[in-house]
């Protein structure tokens, strides 16, 4: 049952990403991306990562998607998406992606012998919090610097645009 | 379930996002596919890593993804104001 759920939600996420490639309308692309992100959240749930599923919905499907939709509304030229790339470049891009997939599957061939139990279990937030505020406390605090830098950079870019 | 199957799900997600990134001609769409590539990497981390530690790493990567989207969209909005286009082929100079 859980195994079928993993395959199903993986297939939904892959299908949404595939449809995004062929979708020219950016708003519809954003909605397909939302579907892929929600399917990934369900995948986390099937992999017994409940906290990550909630964070995925709040952060990715909520905050980041809102950011994309707001950016699309302030950029009118974003909605005029033309198929400008040449067919040769598109074929080259698809060939490069196929090579990446083949290589990744070749490299991970060593994983064939390993089993990963996917029985539904409760992964509490307490062990996760112990990791974040114990072993990874320094990295977690450094992350606040990254976010502060991002806020300052985005504000500086917005002020620069207003002055220009 | 074999670890190879779980890895192949995330690899297919990553490759589809990479194909979209390489074939799209719009900066916003490229950033969307970049986010999906990072998302696929997160799936691999959760599926294959040791459980509490890999989830902790994924929480940190969520914050990195949010910062990346914020800065990326701010840069794209600035570029679209300066060049009046979102096609990377038409943006040929980076002089400030």
Q: Which residues contact A9 (CB under 8 A, 6 or more apart)?
A: A39, A40, A42, A43, A46
Residues of A in contact with B66 (CB under 8 A): 59, 63-64, 147, 150
Paired residues of B2 in beta bridges: A115
pTM: 0.89
Q: Are A123 and B51 in contact (CB under 8 A)?
A: yes
Mean pLDDT value across residues B69-94: 82
pLDDT, tens only, A20-40: 988 888 888 999 999 999 999
Q: Measured between alpha carbons, how far is residue A119 from residues A6, A46, A123 in Å?
A: 11, 8, 12
Tokens for A38, please give them. 């929600």
Looking at every residue in chain B, the average pLDDT score rounds to 87
Give the DSSP letter of residue A135: I
pLDDT, tens only, B13-59: 999 999 999 888 888 889 999 999 999 999 999 988 887 889 999 99
Collapsed DSSP state (helix, strand, coil) of residue A115: strand
Interface contact flag, B26 A81, Cβ < 8 Å: yes
**Taking CA A67 as the corner, what is the angle to CA A66 and CA A72, rounded to the nearest 5 degrees?**
95
Q: Which residues contact B35 (CB under 8 A, 6 or more apart)?
A: A33, A60, A64, B65, B68, B69
Collapsed DSSP state (helix, strand, coil) of residue B2: strand
Interface contact flag, A17 B13, Cβ < 8 Å: yes
Residues of B in contact with A130 (CB under 8 A): 52
Closest CA–CA distance from residue A92 to any residue of chain B (Å): 8
Q: Is the ipTM of this complex over 0.85?
A: yes
Residues of A in contact with B76 (CB under 8 A): 71, 75
Q: What percent of chain A has pLDDT over 90?
A: 29
Q: Could you give the CA distance from residue A75 to residue B19 in angstroms, rounded to a whole number?
A: 25
């Amino acid at each position: 049952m859980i195994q079928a759920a993993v395959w199903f939600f993986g297939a939904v996420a892959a299908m949404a990403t595939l449809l995004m490639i062929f979708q020219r309308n950016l708003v519809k692309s954003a909605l397909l991306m939302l579907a892929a992100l929600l399917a990934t959240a369900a995948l986390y749930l099937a992999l017994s990562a409940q906290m990550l599923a909630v964070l995925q919905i709040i952060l990715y499907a909520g905050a980041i998607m809102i950011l994309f939709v707001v950016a699309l509304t302030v950029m009118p030229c974003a909605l005029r998406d033309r198929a400008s790339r040449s067919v040769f470049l598109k074929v080259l891009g698809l060939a490069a992606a196929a090579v990446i997939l083949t290589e990744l599957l070749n490299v991970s061939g060593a994983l064939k012998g390993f089993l990963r139990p996917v029985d539904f279990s409760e992964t509490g937030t307490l062990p996760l919090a112990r990791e974040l505020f114990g072993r990874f406390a320094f990295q977690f605090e450094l992350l606040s610097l990254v976010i502060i830098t991002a806020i300052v950079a985005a504000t500086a870019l917005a002020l620069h645009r207003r002055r220009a | 379930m074999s670890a190879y199957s779980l890895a192949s799900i995330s690899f297919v997600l990553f490759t589809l996002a990479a194909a979209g990134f390489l074939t799209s001609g719009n900066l916003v769409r490229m950033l969307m596919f970049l986010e999906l590539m990072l998302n696929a990497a997160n799936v691999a981390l959760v599926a294959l890593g040791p459980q509490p530690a890999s989830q902790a790493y994924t929480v940190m990567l969520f914050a990195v993804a949010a910062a990346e989207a914020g800065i990326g969209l701010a840069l794209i909005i600035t570029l679209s104001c300066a060049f009046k286009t979102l096609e990377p082929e038409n943006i040929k100079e980076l002089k400030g």
